[in-house]
Amino acid sequence: MPHIKQKEITSSNTNKTTLASIENKWKKVTNILLKQIGATEHKNWIQPLSICSIQNKILEIIAPNRFLRDWVSMHYTNKISDIWKTTYPNEIISINIITAPKLHTQQKNIANNSQNKIKTTTTNNGQTDTWEDEQPKNIIKKYALDPRFTFDNFVIGKSNELAAAAAKRVAEDTKISFNPLFLYSGVGLGKTHLMHAIGWKICESFPDKKIIYMSAEKFMYEFIHSLQNKNVMSFKEKFRNIDIFMVDDIQFIAGKEKVQDEFFHTFNSLIEQNKQIVISGNCPPSEIKGLTAQLCSRLNGGLLADIQQTDYELRLAILKSKLKYIKNIEIPISVLEFIADKITTNVRELEGALNKVAIQAEITNKPVTIKTTQYVLQDILRSNTKEITIDHIQKTVASCYNIKASDITSKKRARHITRPRQIAMYITKLLTPASLPEIGREFGGRDHTTALYAIRKIEDLIPHDTELSKSIDILINKIKYA
């Protein structure tokens, strides 16, 4: 077929070409990115991604697993976003990376190939991407446990000893001492790890006990799906005969009335049958906004165990323990001490930093020193030491929403300006020590009640508006790491 005709056919059918045209743009953007980051990083981190859609100016990208998603979010979204915005102005305001464990075969192969390459060169933790297929019989396949997350691999320090002891008690005792166990902490401090560890331990000691571990998000999606397909009964049925029910990140369903009700019923019926429940959240139940009083009081009815920020000793011990996954690369203790001293945010970031150092050494075939580490981790180190200013927050939010930074501090009241302004105030409260009067002042000489109103408004919206909440996460990442 002559070239011109083919073009005509494609352009006459805009609906069909939507995904194809996004894919073409994705190719172009990643080719530009390739020049910035080099072939190896591109192959390891960018090639396994696939493009999904652009909706409401949010570009959705699929990563084959959580690790890749977190890594790419942290290190490449800003670059991708900048290139996309420059090449195709006004098309996107932000990027959302999601995981899709059940990609179709071709995509999965690509993802696996690339993943394995990374793992075989740097790690020896025995993990394969097929771990979902290698589960003990008391785990329903769909609610798989990650083999890396065991008690043996969990390093205990002052900040997590209560949570770890409580988790072990749940896993080892035949009688129930507290119900539920509620674990809470900021991100990346080991809640999910401990829940999986409970699962593994029970599988080992009590092979007949039935376990379900799921994220609250998954609970919600399965529930909604069952409503749509009119098989709520079989959804409920699933929780009838289990012995241990673990739900991760409960804050996700806060404010979502129907889902919370359903969860409340499931929770009560299991408690009545004396079945063990373990829940995690990003703060204690009483501080989770949008949780019903009933559910809050139920969640408070067992043991609350928090995990606090790590101290230097624990960070160093964790890094040392992770060395067993790194083969053929020598990482001097001085470098571990350097990382433990500098990366203080959370364990996920700590692990990420160690992996990055190892990958870089593998690629360049050069010995690891504090100097090379400083170079490899410069972005992360900057974000760990950088003081976040209100001005930086205002500029970043404004640029993501395609408005001027001066609009944020202006008196303008158009909605396309007020919402980003409220978001910027909310993020300022979150990331800086500024008081409400200070925030009001910095946002165009407003008073503290206006600042409070703006912050409350966003806090109220977040539990109901997944897109907003994800955009805010992305903005926070950008502000901290860009």
* Binding partner of residue 149 among Mg ion, ligand ADP, none, CB cut-off 5 to 8 Å per kind: ligand ADP
Q: In sequence order, what are the residues at sequence separation of 6 or more whose Cβ sits closer than 8 angstroms to the Cβ of residue 133?
A: 141
Question: At 99, phi and psi to the nearest 5?
Answer: -100, 150
> For residues 184 and 239, which CB has a smaller minimum distance to ligand ADP in the complex?
184
> For residues 160 and 373, which CB has a smaller minimum distance to ligand ADP in the complex?
160
Q: Is 357 helix (H, G, I), strand (E, B) or coil?
A: helix
Nearest approach in angstroms of CB 384 to ligand ADP is: 16
**Burial bucket for residue 8 (CB in 10 Å: 0-12, 13-18, 19+):** exposed
* Binding partner of residue 351 among ligand ADP, Mg ion, none, CB cut-off 5 to 8 Å per kind: ligand ADP
Site membership for Mg ion, residue 266 (CB under 5 A): no
Looking up tokens 């303008």 gives 412
Q: Which of 77, 78, 168, 68 is nearest to 118 (CA)?
A: 68
Nearest approach in angstroms of CB 143 to Mg ion is: 15
Q: Is the dihedral of CA 447, 451, 453, 454 positive or negative?
A: positive
Contact 251, 272 (CB under 8 A): no
Task: Point out which span in 108-116, 154-162, 233-241, 253-261 binds ligand ADP (CB under 6 A).
Answer: 154-162
Q: Binder to ligand ADP among 262, 306, 351, 407 (CB under 6 A)? A: 351
* Binding partner of residue 190 among Mg ion, ligand ADP, none, CB cut-off 5 to 8 Å per kind: ligand ADP
Q: Binder to ligand ADP among 25, 75, 85, 191 (CB under 6 A)? A: 191
Looking up tokens 């993501």 gives 400
C-alpha to C-alpha distance for 4 and 201, rounded to whole angstroms: 64
Question: At 80, phi and psi to the nearest 5?
Answer: -60, -45
Nearest approach in angstroms of CB 316 to ligand ADP is: 12
C-alpha to C-alpha distance for 213 and 194, rounded to whole angstroms: 11
> For residues 94 and 192, which CB has a smaller minimum distance to Mg ion in the complex?
192
**Interface of this chain with Mg ion, residues 152 to 191, rule: CB under 5 A:** 191
CA distances for 263 relative to 30, 147, 222, 257, 396, angstroms: 42, 27, 12, 10, 38
Site membership for Mg ion, residue 192 (CB under 5 A): yes
Contact 436, 472 (CB under 8 A): no
Task: Point out which span in 28-36, 151-159, 197-205, 461-469 binds ligand ADP (CB under 6 A).
Answer: 151-159
Site membership for Mg ion, residue 44 (CB under 5 A): no
CA distances for 273 relative to 166, 242, 266, 448, angstroms: 21, 10, 11, 50
Nearest approach in angstroms of CB 68 to ligand ADP is: 13
The amino acid sitting at 398 is A
Q: Annotate each residue in 287-306 with x if it binds ligand ADP (CB under 6 A) or - if it does not, as one string.
A: --------------------
Task: Point out which span in 24-32, 149-157, 389-397, 455-463 binds ligand ADP (CB under 6 A).
Answer: 149-157
Indicate the residue whose CB is closest to ligand ADP.
Answer: 190
Site membership for ligand ADP, residue 64 (CB under 6 A): no
Site membership for ligand ADP, residue 162 (CB under 6 A): no
Looking up tokens 């202006």 gives 410
Q: Binder to ligand ADP among 48, 188, 302, 440 (CB under 6 A)? A: 188
Site membership for ligand ADP, residue 192 (CB under 6 A): yes
Binding residues for ligand ADP, rule: CB under 6 A, are: 149, 153-155, 160, 185, 187-193, 318, 347-348, 351
Binding residues for Mg ion, rule: CB under 5 A, are: 191-192
